[in-house]
Amino acid sequence: MNEFENTIKIGELADKKVADQIVSELLKRNIHVRVHLDSESGLFVITSEDKATAPDAFDYYRVKVGFAPPPQEMPEEYKKMKETPLGTISLIFLAISGLVFISKIFVDDSIYKLFFMTNFHGQDSFLPEIMQGEVWRLITPVFLHFGFMHILFNAMWMKDLGSLIENLKGKTYYLILLLSSGVLSNLAQYFVSKNPFGGLSGIVYALLGFIWMNKQFDKNSTFALPKKDIWILIGWFFLCFTGAIGSIANTAHGVGLGVGMLFGILNGAKTSGEYPLGEMLKFSLIAVLFGAGTLSFEFFILPMITGH
């Protein structure tokens, strides 16, 4: 009769101390296993009699002996983000962006021409269509995207970050944040661009700035971004300046980030009931530096470097 009959084999080891350690750690996780000496092989075999927990025991054993990487625990910030339902305003912005993007693929670029801030880039006149009453062009460039990865990247971030803010602050506040960051980042980008531009990136950076600063000034806030993601997005912001990933609306990114930070500073301080003037001034200056600094760089310094 097989000595391991009616049991589920989890793994086997030559070192009894390691086997005992694995059994002890699994028991702490309420996963019941045992260790036996296999008289034929001389190895210490870990077994389970519980089919429900055996897969977890096997995964833990594989990690412990180096057969598999340790499972990555999802940060609490991500869990809350994924549990937040998609907000109505976020859905509307994403739907418009998707429909406009599809229209260019299956129809033509006639809708794009209605969404650009102007169709007369490089000319002396200042936003002629808007001056003639087409005021929607102040915001509509945010719905324009020029490639699948462009719209996918922006949509993923807006879905997660935007829904957090919309569910926390409500539709009216959220819409004010979107319109403020969208219009200001569009206008700033217009001043430095000689070519048509578009995308939700300026708004996405505003959402990042809001969440970042809101948590900075309201420690009890129920939502945040993992610090590594904040630095990834900030790193991406500076990477765009190198030109290594093509023509990017850097000024829209910088102004959007700055606007979002200012909103987040004020909201975080108001919610917490504390107004640390020194900290507020410091981060407000950083926000202004992101916006005005990026605009100044692209308007004054970059043309001198490139000769354009």
Tokens 């001198």 belong to 304
For residue 130, give every residue at least 6 positions away whose Cβ sits within 8 Å of its Cβ, in sequence order, or none: 117, 118, 137, 138
Q: DSSP labels for 171-205?
A: HHHHHHHHHHHHHHHHHHHHHH-SS----SHHHHH
In this structure, are residues 260 and 206 in contact, taking their beta carbons and an 8 Å threshold?
yes
d(CA 261, CA 209): 4
Tokens 């909103």 belong to 263
Selecting among 150, 185, 253, 296, the annotated active-site residue is 253
Q: DSSP labels for 99-167?
A: HHHHHHHHT-SHHHHHHSS-S-TTSSSSSHHHHTT-GGGGTGGGG--SSHHHHHHHHHHIIIIIHHHHH
Q: What angle do CA 96, 100, 139 make, to 5 degrees?
A: 60
Selecting among 201, 221, 284, 308, the annotated active-site residue is 201
Distance of CA 277 to the CA centre of its chain: 29
d(CA 200, CA 177): 13
Q: What angle do CA 285, 237, 291 make, to 5 degrees?
A: 30
Active site residue 121: no
Catalytic residues: 201, 253
